Amino acid sequence: MTEITEVPSPFCGIGTDDLCIAVDGLSLKVTANGCAVNTPLFEQPITDTRARVAGQEVDLDVAISQAAKLLQGAWLPVIGGCATDVNGMRGLLALADRCGAVVDNMNFVGARNNFLSMQANGWMNTTLAEVKNRCDLLLVVGTDVEAFAPRFFERYLWTEAMFLQDPSQRRVIYLGRAPSGDSSTSPNGTQATVLECPLTELPDVMAVLRALVKNQPVRVDSVGGIAVADLQAVAEQLRAAQYSVVTWAAGALAYSQAELTVQTLSAMVKDINMQNTRCSGLPLAGKEGEQTANQVCGWTTGYPARTRFSRGYPEYDPFLNDSRLLLADGEADVLVWVQAFNALSVPPVTDIPTIVVGRSGMKFGKEPDVYIPVGTPGIDHAGHAFRMDNVVAIRLKKLRDSGLPSTADVLNAIEQRCRPD
Which residues of this chain interact with another protein, rule CB under 8 A? Answer: 6, 8, 15, 17-18, 86-87, 90, 94, 97, 115, 118-130, 132-134, 155-156, 160-163, 242-243, 273, 276-278, 280, 294-296, 298-304, 309, 311-316, 382, 384, 386, 390-395, 408
Phi-psi region at 233: left, alpha or beta (left = phi > 0; alpha = psi -120 to 50): alpha
Q: How far is the CB of 146 from another protein (least distance, A)?
A: 17
Instruction: Centre a 10 Å sphere on the Cβ of residue 403 and count the other Cβ atoms it contains.
Output: 10
Q: Which residue, 127 or 222, has its beta carbon nearer to another protein?
A: 127
Q: Name every residue whose Cβ is closer than 8 Å to that of residue 93 and which is 6 or more positions away in sequence.
A: 103, 296, 297, 300, 301
Q: How far is the CB of 386 from another protein (least distance, A)?
A: 8
Judge contact between 184 and 145, C-beta under 8 A: yes
Q: Which residue, 151 or 400, has its beta carbon nearer to another protein?
A: 151
Q: How far is the CB of 300 from another protein (least distance, A)?
A: 6
Q: Which residue, 11 or 115, has its beta carbon nearer to another protein?
A: 115
Q: How far is the CB of 208 from another protein (least distance, A)?
A: 24
Q: Which residue, 303 or 341, has its beta carbon nearer to another protein?
A: 303
Q: Which residue, 113 or 350, has its beta carbon nearer to another protein?
A: 113
* Cα–Cα distance, 28 to 7 (Å, whole number): 12
Mapping DSSP to helix (H, G, I), strand (E, B) and coil, where does residue 72 land? Answer: helix
Q: How far is the CB of 244 from another protein (least distance, A)?
A: 12
Q: Which residue, 66 or 114, has its beta carbon nearer to another protein?
A: 114
End-to-end CA distance of the chain: 48
Judge contact between 244 and 272, C-beta under 8 A: yes
Q: How far is the CB of 2 from another protein (least distance, A)?
A: 17
> For 289, which DSSP code?
G
Q: Which residue, 15 or 80, has its beta carbon nearer to another protein?
A: 15
Which contiguous run of DSSP H or E holds residue 400?
none
Q: How far is the CB of 346 from another protein (least distance, A)?
A: 29
Judge contact between 229 and 250, C-beta under 8 A: no
Q: Name every residue whose Cβ is closer than 8 Å to that of residue 375 and which is 6 or more positions away in sequence.
A: 340, 360, 381, 402, 404, 405, 406, 407
> For 345, which DSSP code?
-
By CB atoms closer than 10 A (0-12, 13-18, 19+), residue 43 is: middle
Q: Name every residue whose Cβ is closer than 8 Å to that of residue 159 and which is 6 or more positions away in sequence.
A: 132, 167
Q: Which residue, 12 or 346, has its beta carbon nearer to another protein?
A: 12
> For 223, which DSSP code?
E
Q: Which residue, 208 or 246, has its beta carbon nearer to another protein?
A: 246
Q: How far is the CB of 309 from another protein (least distance, A)?
A: 6
Q: How far is the CB of 3 from another protein (least distance, A)?
A: 15
- Beta strand 226-227 pairing with 222-223: antiparallel
